[in-house]
């Protein structure tokens, strides 16, 4: 072999050695997957000049959008869903980012609440842990069944409609006979009055039935113990106390007046006097005037034909007229000891009431 050939052979051997070292090195730094490593590095180079696009969001609208990832959804499927719901601008960029960050294998099936202010990196890291997703929902004191249904639709995050929930509420105790026994409610009564007012943090997978059960159980939890014992000791059913408490809830602005307002109605019941409760007239209108609690006139006291109109009908209403708070239920259960038969809102707009024994005194407190 000539000297020149020996030099060429030596160079060839050195190239082979260097190449072997390079391949071995790549094999090591790629954790045994050199092809994926090369692909990732190519993506890294590609995305290096697209940082502005990664940081760009669809809009400034912070409204949450319910987004579901099904079991088995591939990154490209997720990207297509995000595009369809107008949550990202570029599906390929989203997929590349997932792969670059190693998130393409960490996507978790579940329901998430995303919005158009979120850029691709924020969305990518959100959808790898569905445990952080929840729905915050408020049932306000003194709202009726239909208003709870409206709040479900206004929330916008539930996987069911307010009408679906309303249908369950109207079926009521026919589906929950065990609760009808506890409350002393008719088996065909609706759930009006038993959707306990509170703020709830709910799983995104919550169903209409699940929400119903949570709200009714919260009511049960609120009266267990001394309160339900006191109700039963007085010879009242829970159902009748809830009827009274629902009226108190609609009449009282301040909780400190609950027991006094309840005493007025209890005193009237004791002598067989009609309760003459304005909220029951409003309830009897059933939203026919475009609002659930419309302004009424004295003419309505006689003209609204409804079993709930307690100017025309003696005793308690056929059922509760709203969902009362624990404070209103306490007021109805533990009324103040008074000799009041009338009350009227004070004229200063404070929300407090003047309480009187006679109708003549009541008229003197008129603001007109």
* pLDDT digits 0-9 by tens, 242-298: 999 999 999 999 999 999 999 999 999 999 999 999 999 999 999 999 999 999 999
Q: Which of 132, 161, 196 is the last residue of a domain?
A: 132
Q: Is residue 338 located within the same domain as residue 258?
A: yes
Confidence (pLDDT) at 277: 97
Rg for the chain, CA atoms, rounded: 33
Residue in the structure block whose two tokens are 């609208």: 61
Q: Is residue 74 located within the same domain as residue 29?
A: no
Quote the CA–CA distance of 249 and 321 in Å, as a whole number: 10
Q: Is residue 343 located within the same domain as residue 281?
A: yes
* 246 within 8 A of 320, measured Cβ to Cβ: yes
What is the largest distance, in Å, between two alpha-carbon atoms of the chain? Answer: 133
Q: Is residue 139 located within the same domain as residue 119?
A: no
**Domain-located, residue 33:** yes
CATH code assigned at 105 = 3.30.1490.480
Show the CA angle centred on residue 303, arms to residues 239 and 355, nearest 5°.
60
Quote the CA–CA distance of 218 and 236 in Å, as a whole number: 21
Confidence (pLDDT) at 360: 87
Q: Is residue 241 located within the same domain as residue 354?
A: yes
SS3 category, 264: helix
**Domain-located, residue 203:** yes
**Domain-located, residue 77:** yes
Number of domains present in the structure of the chain: 4
**Domain-located, residue 230:** no
Q: Which of 165, 192, 224 is the last residue of a domain?
A: 224
**Domain-located, residue 292:** yes
Q: Is residue 244 located within the same domain as residue 333?
A: yes
Q: HSE of 277 in the Cβ direction (CA atoms, 13 Å)?
A: 34
* Residue range(s) defining the domain that contains residue 28: 11-38
Confidence (pLDDT) at 2: 45
Show the CA angle centred on residue 142, arms to residues 138 and 143, nearest 5°.
60
Q: Is residue 297 located within the same domain as residue 366?
A: yes
Q: Is residue 352 located within the same domain as residue 312?
A: yes
**Domain-located, residue 2:** no
Q: Is residue 321 located within the same domain as residue 285?
A: yes
Q: Is residue 24 located within the same domain as residue 90?
A: no
Q: Is residue 143 located within the same domain as residue 219?
A: yes
Task: Give the predicted TM-score (pTM) of the model.
Answer: 0.81
Q: Is residue 143 located within the same domain as residue 117?
A: no
Confidence (pLDDT) at 49: 82
Confidence (pLDDT) at 363: 85
**Domain-located, residue 145:** yes
**Domain-located, residue 3:** no
The candidate with the shortest Cα–Cα distance to 143, out of 178, 185, 195, is 195
Residues in the chain, pLDDT under 70: 1-34, 36-38
Confidence (pLDDT) at 132: 80
């Amino acid at each position: 072999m000539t000297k020149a050939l020996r030099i060429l052979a030596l160079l060839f051997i050195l190239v082979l050695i260097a190449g072997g070292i390079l391949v071995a090195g790549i094999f090591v730094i790629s954790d045994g997957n050199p092809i994926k490593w090369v692909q990732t590095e190519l993506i890294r180079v590609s995305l290096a000049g697209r940082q502005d696009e990664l940081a760009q969001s669809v809009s400034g609208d912070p409204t949450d959008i319910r987004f579901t990832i099904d079991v088995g959804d591939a990154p490209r499927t997720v990207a297509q869903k995000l595009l369809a719901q107008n949550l990202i601008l570029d599906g390929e960029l989203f997929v590349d980012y997932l792969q670059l960050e190693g998130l393409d294998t960490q996507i978790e099936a579940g329901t998430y609440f995303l919005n158009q202010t979120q850029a691709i990196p924020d969305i990518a890291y959100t959808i790898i842990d569905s445990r952080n997703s929840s729905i915050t929902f408020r049932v306000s004191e003194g709202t009726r069944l239909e208003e709870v249904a409206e709040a479900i639709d206004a929330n916008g995050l539930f996987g069911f409609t307010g009408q679906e929930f309303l249908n369950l509420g109207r079926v009521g105790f026919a589906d929950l006979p065990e609760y009808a026994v506890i409350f002393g409610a008719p088996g065909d009564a609706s759930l009006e009055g038993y959707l306990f007012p509170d703020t709830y943090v709910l799983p995104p997978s919550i169903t209409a039935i699940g929400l119903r059960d949570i709200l009714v159980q919260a009511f049960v939890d609120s009266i267990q113990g001394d309160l339900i014992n006191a109700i039963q000791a007085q010879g009242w059913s829970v159902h009748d106390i809830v009827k009274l408490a629902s009226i108190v809830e609609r009449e009282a602005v301040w909780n400190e007046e609950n027991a006094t307002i309840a005493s007025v109605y209890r005193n009237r019941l004791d002598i067989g006097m009609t309760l003459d409760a304005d909220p029951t007239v409003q309830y009897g209108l059933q939203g026919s005037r475009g609002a659930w609690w419309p302004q009424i006139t004295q003419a309505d006291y006689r003209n609204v034909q409804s079993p709930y109109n307690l100017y025309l009908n003696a005793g308690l209403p056929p059922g509760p007229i709203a969902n009362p708070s624990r404070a209103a239920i306490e007021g109805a259960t533990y009324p103040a000891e008074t000799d009041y038969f009338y009350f009227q809102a004070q004229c200063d707009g404070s929300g407090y009431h003047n309480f009187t024994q006679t109708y003549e005194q009541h008229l003197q407190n008129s603001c007109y």
